[in-house]
Amino acid sequence: MEFSRYKLRIHDGHIRVVCAARSGVVPPGVDLFGAEAAPAFAAASPLIDWLRAMEPGVPIRAILVDRDGGRVQISIDERIEVPGAASEKLRPRMFRADGPLAEELLALATPIDEALARAVPVVVARRV
């Protein structure tokens, strides 16, 4: 099974998966929680380890793997003030990787894809 993108909401223990159109999953969005999500969270350790090697102790809130867009975006659970933002609220800090760096991170995310490829069909089968 192939995915357009998925977001691991580490803070919430929730994974939102958008299946690739060619997978035939309609609607393409699939949500995983608890035991169904646990293997994919465990498979994210190479990606998380990479980030923590760059910035030890960083509190990761969520990881977006965008296979269609060729990028990885990580939200850090540290609030920062965004200069020029429409509101005065503090926002989570973001790390976005495109290009060659994204290719490296997308490769590290391959075990996540494999775990999701096992979990998503089980959830989709319950829809019927």
Which tokens belong to 115?
């775990």
Residue 41 confidence (pLDDT) above 70 = yes
The residue with greater pLDDT, 80 or 18, is 18
The residue with greater pLDDT, 79 or 102, is 102
State how far the Cα of 68 lies from the Cα of 21, in Å rounded to an integer.
11
- The pTM of the full predicted model, rounded to 2 decimals, is 0.86
Residue 38 confidence (pLDDT) above 80 = yes
Arithmetic mean of pLDDT, 12-40? 93
pLDDT grade for 57, boundaries at 50, 70 and 90: confident
Residue 81 confidence (pLDDT) above 70 = no
Arithmetic mean of pLDDT, 24-29? 87
Arithmetic mean of pLDDT, 15-20? 96
Quote the number of domains for the chain: 1
State how far the Cα of 125 lies from the Cα of 36, in Å rounded to an integer.
13
DSSP 7-57: EEETTTTEEEEEE-GGGT-SS-EEEEEHHHHHHHHHHTHHHHHHHHHHSTT
Domain of 40 in residue numbering reads as 3-127
Arithmetic mean of pLDDT, 91-111? 91
